[in-house]
Amino acid sequence: MADPVLVKICGIKTLPLLDATIAAGADMVGFVHFARSPRHVDIETLQMLISEARGRIETCVLLVNPDNSCVMEVAALSPDWIQLHGPETPHRVDSIREAAGIAVMKAIPIGSAEDVAGVAAFAESADRLLLDAKPPKGADRPGGLGTPFDWSLLEALDPGLAFMLSGGLTPETVQDAIRRVGPMGVDVSSGVETAPGVKDEGLIRAFVSAVRGAEPGRGAA
């Protein structure tokens, strides 16, 4: 039987929403530490959320092109994952992973066949790949914009490469995405919000149950 598709809910900012995400049955929760984001949480809040989540759900701290001191400050909180969501190179991903001693998920923006061709370069340096929509030029942040990308681009990807999928997923579209793309996991932020940064418990529950009810995608054993 195919492994269940992992569900990550990204951009949780408060304890009640963390509890609701765990109760909904998600596998991972993402905390955004990036000042320009409407989902930004400061270091003190990160510490509280990570310690409340420990042993209940996997935690992931999202950083954008962090410097070494930011990496070490976050690593000291011992999240399960660091998600790199900026223009980090494979070499930089490798050195952050080494310095932090924490598993790294690398988000790769996809908007063209050329972007897909670049994915394999991260396969050795990152512990997990997250394929996300490429933000439009001039966007004020590199993710969490609620826009999907053309999933058919991923047909050119090495079928042996496991990845999570994100970019504009919603409770209504996620089953189709899983069936067509066959990701090992899915990640959502905007699709479970009523406004940027405002999560909705009902939408989180609807998203998780849509994933649990999805048919296995292409490539699933």
Ligand X SMILES: O=C(O)c1ccccc1NCC(=O)[C@H](O)[C@H](O)COP(=O)(O)O
Closest CA to 204 of 1, 28, 76: 28
Q: At 6, list the tokens.
A: 């992992």
Catalytic one of 10, 27, 60, 187: 10
Which CB atom, from 15 or from 139, has the smaller least distance to ligand X? 139
**Residue 115 is a catalytic residue:** no
**Residue 10 is a catalytic residue:** yes
Among 39, 97, 106, 134, binds ligand X (CB under 6 A): 39
How far is residue 157's CA from residue 49's CA, in Å, rounded to a whole number?
A: 35
Which CB atom, from 40 or from 97, has the smaller least distance to ligand X? 40
Helical ranges in the chain per DSSP H = 15-24, 43-53, 68-75, 90-100, 113-117, 174-181, 201-212
Q: At 212, list the tokens.
A: 């649990």
Q: Does 135 bind ligand X (CB under 6 A)?
A: no
Q: Does 143 bind ligand X (CB under 6 A)?
A: yes
Which single residue is written with the structure tokens 């919000």?
193
Q: Does 62 bind ligand X (CB under 6 A)?
A: yes
Q: Does 64 bind ligand X (CB under 6 A)?
A: yes
Cβ distance 149 to 134 under 8 Å? yes
Q: Taking CA 66 as the corner, what is the angle to CA 63 and CA 72, rounded to the nearest 5 degrees?
A: 95
Which CB atom, from 2 or from 109, has the smaller least distance to ligand X? 109
Binding window for ligand X (CB under 6 A); candidates: 51-59, 92-100, 115-123, 188-196: 188-196
Q: Does 144 bind ligand X (CB under 6 A)?
A: yes
Q: Tell me which residues touch ligand X (CB under 6 A).
A: 10-11, 32, 34, 37, 39, 62, 64, 85, 107, 132, 141-146, 166-169, 187-191
Catalytic residues: 10, 132
